[in-house]
Amino acid sequence: MMQKEAPSSNADHTTTFNDLPAAMLVNIFTRLPVKTLIRSTSVCKTWYSNITKPTFISAHIQHSLSCSNNNNALFVIPLVIKHKKYCTLISAHTGDVLKKYKIPFQTKTNTLKLCGSLNGVLCLNEIDFGKISGSDLLDDYQELYLWNPSVGKYKRLSWSCFKKGGECSYALGLGVYEPTYDFRVVRIVYLEDEMGFLNGRVPPKVEVFSLRSNKWRRIKEAVVPRVAYQCSITVGNNMAYWLDTKRTKSFFEDGWIVWFDFNTEMFGKIKMPDDVRYCFGLMAHFVLMRFEGKLAVCITSDLKESSGQPFQPCCIWLMSHEDGEVSWNLRFKVLLKERARPLSILGSGTLLMVSPTESESGEGLFSSNLMREDLLQSKPLDVEPGAGDALFIESLLLLEGREELLESA
């Protein structure tokens, strides 16, 4: 008679999720959406520790950037938030609302302006309509807000290294100090001269906010090449760029790119070559964008055909800035069907533009697919694009405090 085989000693052993190799766990976690990861922080201390590590947050962001589902979406921020308490993620082609994010704070003026965005964190500023002077520089030391809609967390940056005295304006840039993956904000402060003008004669002051230390720090003897008139575009993680075009007495445009390296905390400048600056003559309009992982300069000009119908030629140049060497490549040269103000370019090659409409909001959002020869252009979307971020992704930045996060999620 055959004897029954004794049961294996491993029969009662159950493999758990924690038995997987650490590298495999990270690979799985990086593919999960932010909301799931936030809930996972309450499973155990090990998971909480792994998910909140800067190295994991960075890996999750890189995975999101590489396979983002929002390549054809725009994050829309209402200009006036007194009655509109939500920001929306909309389809750039249909205008359909994909997600809604409740604004968790209220400003004194009930307004919001997008100053920049990076890896899912928005830098916002309120607008004082009584001080609008035509300059793109931000006025005075108004409160700044860092807000990550995905985790429902924000941080108010109201303090500064510099005392308030007289009128001032400032430019902002967002970036990451890569050795420790510390999210940072750089602020260039321009003070009025003895004549009361903010014309750059008085050397600007510079300070950097560190999310890790939660404070501003002054950069002593910072050398800023010249005034940067727009909020920055960040390329990679550590390079912030501003566009500065200055009209001289001879009416020639003097175009420069001002950059700041968050790793070295050094400023520099790059002059745009004549082929870029003068591709549409002297009255061209310049907008900084980001496309294919590089800095892009979008240049447009308002012209009319012989029939009198308006049209708008558009060139998009890509700049490479590697190891101190700068090169330029003409990526697109197209003729737009609508006279519009370029806003941003999506990863799919769709150019977003703001143009006047007959609606009550006064402006509508158009999109043109630059990859197509026929330049397929959408109808105006039924949204109010007071400010829009075409580079928005969901991330875990500003992730801190388990109980607080679970309430926000």
Burial of 161 (0-12, 13-18, 19+ CB in 10 A): middle
Q: Are residues 190 and 250 in the same domain?
A: yes
Looking at the structure of the chain, the number of domains it has is 2
Read off the CATH number of the domain in which 48 is found.
Answer: 1.20.1280
Q: Are residues 252 and 167 in the same domain?
A: yes
Per the structure, the complete domain to which residue 165 belongs is given by 104-271
For 64-210, list the strands marked E by DSSP: 73-77, 86-91, 97-102, 113-118, 121-125, 138-139, 144-148, 153-157, 168-177, 182-191, 205-210
Q: Could you read off the pLDDT of 51-87 as tens digits, one per residue?
A: 888 889 988 988 888 775 556 788 888 877 777 788 8
Q: Could you read off the pLDDT of 300-350 as tens digits, one per residue?
A: 886 655 455 557 788 999 998 777 789 999 999 888 776 778 888 887 788
Q: Are residues 153 and 56 in the same domain?
A: no
State how beta strands 253-261 and 266-271 pair: antiparallel
95 domain residue, yes or no: no
The pLDDT, as a whole number, for residue 275 is 84
Residue 142 pLDDT class (50, 70, 90 cuts): low
Q: Are residues 170 and 25 in the same domain?
A: no
- One-letter amino acid for residue 74 of the chain: L
Q: Which phi and psi (to 5°) does residue 247 adopt?
A: -85, 125
The pLDDT, as a whole number, for residue 37 is 92
Residue 407: its H or E element: helix 402-408
Q: Are residues 241 and 184 in the same domain?
A: yes
The pLDDT, as a whole number, for residue 132 is 46
Q: Which residue intervals of 163-253 are DSSP H helices?
A: none
| Tokens describing residue 220 | 């002593």
The pLDDT, as a whole number, for residue 328 is 93
Long-range contacts of 212-218, Cβ-Cβ distance < 8 Å, separation of 24 or more: 212/180, 212/182, 212/183, 214/155, 215/159, 216/157, 216/159, 216/160, 216/161, 216/187, 217/161, 218/161, 218/162
The pLDDT, as a whole number, for residue 19 is 75
- One-letter amino acid for residue 26 of the chain: V
Cα 130 off chain centre by: 26
The pLDDT, as a whole number, for residue 260 is 94
How far is Cα 166 from Cα 324, in angstroms, rounded to an integer? 38
Q: What is the mean pLDDT of residues 190-195?
A: 61
Q: What is the mean pLDDT of the chain?
A: 77
27 domain residue, yes or no: yes
| Tokens describing residue 303 | 């012209």
Q: Are residues 182 and 234 in the same domain?
A: yes
Q: Are residues 42 and 129 in the same domain?
A: no
Compute CA distances 162 → 187, 201, 232, whole Å: 11, 18, 21
- Judged against a pLDDT cut of 50, whether residue 407 lies above it is answered with no
| Tokens describing residue 12 | 């009662």
318 domain residue, yes or no: no
The pLDDT, as a whole number, for residue 272 is 86
| Tokens describing residue 202 | 């008085």
- Judged against a pLDDT cut of 60, whether residue 27 lies above it is answered with yes
Q: Are residues 149 and 261 in the same domain?
A: yes
Compute CA distances 51 → 152, 200, 296, 333, 394, whole Å: 17, 45, 34, 44, 15
| Tokens describing residue 237 | 């993680």
75 domain residue, yes or no: no
Q: Are residues 158 and 249 in the same domain?
A: yes
Q: Are residues 41 and 190 in the same domain?
A: no
For 278-324, list the strands marked E by DSSP: 285-291, 294-300, 303-304, 310-322
The pLDDT, as a whole number, for residue 319 is 93
Q: Are residues 119 and 267 in the same domain?
A: yes
Q: Could you read off the pLDDT of 155-189 as tens digits, one per residue?
A: 998 788 887 666 677 889 999 999 988 999 999 88
161 domain residue, yes or no: yes
- Judged against a pLDDT cut of 50, whether residue 249 lies above it is answered with no
Q: What is the mean pLDDT of residues 386-393?
A: 76
**Tokens 């890569």, located at residue:** 178
DSSP 377: B
Q: Which phi and psi (to 5°) does residue 326 adopt?
A: -115, 135
Identify which of 57-66, 125-134, 241-250 has the greatest average pLDDT: 57-66
| Tokens describing residue 172 | 């902002």
Q: Which of 252, 271, 290 is the last residue of a domain?
A: 271
Q: Could you read off the pLDDT of 211-224 as tens digits, one per residue?
A: 989 999 999 888 88
405 domain residue, yes or no: no
The pLDDT, as a whole number, for residue 55 is 87
293 domain residue, yes or no: no
Q: Which of 23-32, 74-83, 136-145 has the lowest mean pLDDT?
A: 136-145
The pLDDT, as a whole number, for residue 72 is 75
The pLDDT, as a whole number, for residue 44 is 85
313 domain residue, yes or no: no
Q: Which of 271, 305, 335 is the last residue of a domain?
A: 271
Q: Are residues 28 and 110 in the same domain?
A: no
